[in-house]
Amino acid sequence: MCGVLGIENAAEHVVLALGGGLEHRGAHKTGATGVVSQYIGEDGIQHQHSHRGYGAVGTVYFEQNDVARLTGECALGYVGPAEPLLSIHDIPPYGQRFPFIGREDARIAICYDGVITNKKDLCQEAVSGGYALTSPKSPVVFLANLLAQHTGRSGGTLVAPDEPNALHDNLSRQVATSITDRVFALAQKLQGTFALAVMVQDMLIGVCSPYGARSLVVGRLSNGAMVLASESCALDIIDAKLLYEVSAGEMVVVHANGTIEQKYPYAGPSISPTFCAIGRVYYQRFDSRRDGQTINDLREAMGARLAEEHPVAVDVVIAIANSAIPVAVRYGKNMKADLRPVVRGQHASPGLIQLSHKVLGNSATIRYRFVESAVHGKRVALVDAGFLRTTDIARLVRLLREANAAAVHVLIGTPLLRSTCPYGATRLLHEYTSILCKSDNLSDRDQIGADSVAFLSLEGLRKIFTDMAPNSTPCLRCFECA
């Protein structure tokens, strides 16, 4: 997610940030992206433009020159996986007219990233309170409906509209709370791992769940315009300076004049804010920054620890994915092995990757190729920072065997994924991957055809976090026994 506030071509900045800094967040499935911009028309009324679609950011916005019509001094955008049950109108952000105190013509846009685990309970609570609240397939429309409840009135029918930007006609125009109060109250009701962004004409509101799987940062452009984004690498793309990292369990209100308010909707004895280990080792791009350090520093520490725990005599080290490059660099350095490039299908579209899975049963062939002369007769270490399909790893091993590698070792810079995250952080991982979960058995090695398979230990990852983030508490539940 990325929101920009206080600059004439805000939407163009958002699209650059999405395409250049955040598109990796939707790369594992057919991508979806959307942008909503807001402006004051000649009639003095607030208006919104929106555009959304499936595919790469560049394809969605530039083939029909759709960026040019997204005018306004504030914009909010999203890029991420496209859930198969969504219609194109349900792709975030979701924009609608939403009157509140002092802003009868106000329009808001809502963007959401993550998983809500108590959706069913929230629906039942709404019905018991006199609302006929639907449970739409789009989480962001569901959140818009919940936000509309906090109007200080009881009863009514709140349903997902059939058209984008439609007005909930039954919303009372006399509301009892400000938009910040309503977002605060909504945040207190939500359970799961998520980041939420709400945009109105002169402010951006961001919320991080207390379990920290989805991050948010605040930045500023050179002209003073404010930026709210999922990762700091998005700020770098548009030359924005990182000002503030939103903590787990925190809500921030970013104003057009540059002020930042901090609120804490989750304060209480039952809530202990943490950061999600999966978010740091898998979701975030390695040039992003958290806690004063880059994710690259963390990944290099993973590589060093992997070399300490699983030293293997190798001649060549290959990073399976871009995210694994720092892990492979440090592992190779410690093992005194050469880091060799892999020819990647960088321009393989999500559609081609899906077709490869349908035709070949894996995407390894279209995504990766090895230079035979670089691995011929060499002992090779395949290093990854996270999680891959077993079929893809097996295909990579077979490609190296066909290139006459003398030995192939698979080294993963994270522990085994042993259980499903109770807060939903691993939902997409379990849908997308089938890797070697819940087993230390050597059959894993036989299944993929490698000479050895090794994972970073849980103790090793815990030690890395202790050394690099001593004042924070990581959540490691998905790596622990079920």
* Torsions phi, psi for 307 (to 5 deg): -70, -35
Which candidate, 112, 99, 88, 107, places its Cα nearest to that of 163? 88
**Averaged pLDDT score across all residues of the chain:** 77
Give a three-class secondary structure readout of 72-132: ECEEEEEEEECCCCCCHHHCCCEEEECCECCECCCEEEEEEEEEECCHHHHHHHHHHCCEC
Least confident of 162-171, 175-184, 344-353: 162-171
Which candidate, 102, 45, 40, 39, places its Cα nearest to that of 74? 39
Is the pTM higher than 0.85? The answer reads no
**Residue 360 three-state SS:** helix
Pair of tokens at residue 46: 């607030």
| Topology classification of domain 2-273 | Glutamine Phosphoribosylpyrophosphate, subunit 1, domain 1 (3.60.20)
pLDDT at 437: 46
From CA 37, how far away is CA 147, in angstroms rounded?
Answer: 20
pLDDT at 440: 47
DSSP string, 366-380: HHEE--HHHHTT-EE
* pLDDT beyond 80 at 100: no
**Confidence category of residue 124, pLDDT binned at 50, 70, 90:** confident
Per-residue pLDDT tens for 225-282?
999 999 999 999 999 999 999 988 899 999 988 999 998 888 655 556 678 888 788 7
From CA 215, how far away is CA 196, in angstroms rounded?
Answer: 10
Extents of the domains making up the chain: 2-273, 293-479
Q: Which value, in Å, is the radius of gyration of the alpha carbons in the chain? A: 23
Average of per-residue pLDDT across 302-311: 96
- For the domain spanning 293-479, the CATH number is 3.40.50.2020
From CA 81, how far away is CA 142, in angstroms rounded?
Answer: 18
**Confidence category of residue 104, pLDDT binned at 50, 70, 90:** low
* pLDDT beyond 70 at 424: no
**Confidence category of residue 158, pLDDT binned at 50, 70, 90:** very low
Q: Scanning the structure block, which residue is given the tokens 């039954």? A: 170
* pLDDT beyond 70 at 438: no
* pLDDT beyond 90 at 302: yes
From CA 186, how far away is CA 265, in angstroms rounded?
Answer: 9
Angle (nearest 5°) at CA 436 between 431 and 438: 90
**Residue 408 three-state SS:** strand
**Confidence category of residue 161, pLDDT binned at 50, 70, 90:** very low
